[in-house]
Amino acid sequence: MLLFRNTDDGPEVLLGHMGGPFWARKDAGAWTVPKGEYDPDEPAWEAARREFQEELGVAPPDGEAIPLGDVRQTNGKIVTAWAVEADLDPASIAPGTFVMEWPPRSGRTQEFPELDRVAWYGLDRAREVIVKAQAAFLDRLAEHSD
């Protein structure tokens, strides 16, 4: 679910910076629409709302869901997104976490946030930092807003 808000400087979108050690020092290509995996028997819209809650720790906003379609990322994953107009204070998030072995082959596990921070970006700046394939969502949102 891609939140957007209209400002005097144009539309802004809420993106999350992927958590974990691999992404810690990366900016370009390390920001994403809050998303996650779901089973084929779960409706995609319901999964989007559930994953928003899990990743950000806040209830997904109500509002008109604008379908943004699908994209295939370089890792082969297909992401389906909807845009919803809403405002959210990035300081209010309480991200979900995941556990992984870190450092690699150490036998130790550590817990990391799924998203280590979220921020509002204008569309031009968002295109610079979002996962490359997901930039199509920004273009589709811009087309809808025109």
Query: From start to end of 8-96, where are the E strands?
Result: 10-18, 31-32, 66-72, 78-85
Measured distance between the N- and C-terminal CA atoms of the chain, rounded to whole angstroms: 20
Query: What gap in Å lies between CA 120 and CA 11, rounded to an integer?
Result: 10
Query: What gap in Å lies between CA 142 and CA 24, rounded to an integer?
Result: 29
DSSP H or E segment with residue 126: helix 123-129
Query: What gap in Å lies between CA 7 and CA 41, rounded to an integer?
Result: 38
Residue-wise pLDDT for 21-68, tens only, equals 999 999 999 999 999 888 889 999 999 999 999 999 999 999 999 999
Residue 90 has pLDDT above 80, yes or no: yes
Whole-prediction pTM value?
0.94
pLDDT tier at 99, thresholds 50, 70, 90? very high
Tell me the average pLDDT of the chain: 94
Residue 47 is classified by DSSP as H
Residue 146 has pLDDT above 80, yes or no: no
Long-range contact set of residues 5-9: C-beta below 8 Å, sequence gap at least 24: 5/85, 5/86, 5/87, 5/120, 6/85, 6/145, 9/122
pLDDT for 52 equals: 95
Mean pLDDT of 111-129: 96
pLDDT for 126 equals: 98
pLDDT for 72 equals: 95
Residue 145 has pLDDT above 80, yes or no: no
pLDDT for 40 equals: 87
Residue in this structure with the two tokens 């036998």, named with its chain if needed: 107
Mean pLDDT of 105-119: 95
Residue 9 phi/psi, 5-degree rounding, is -95, 5
Q: What percent of the chain has pLDDT over 90?
A: 92
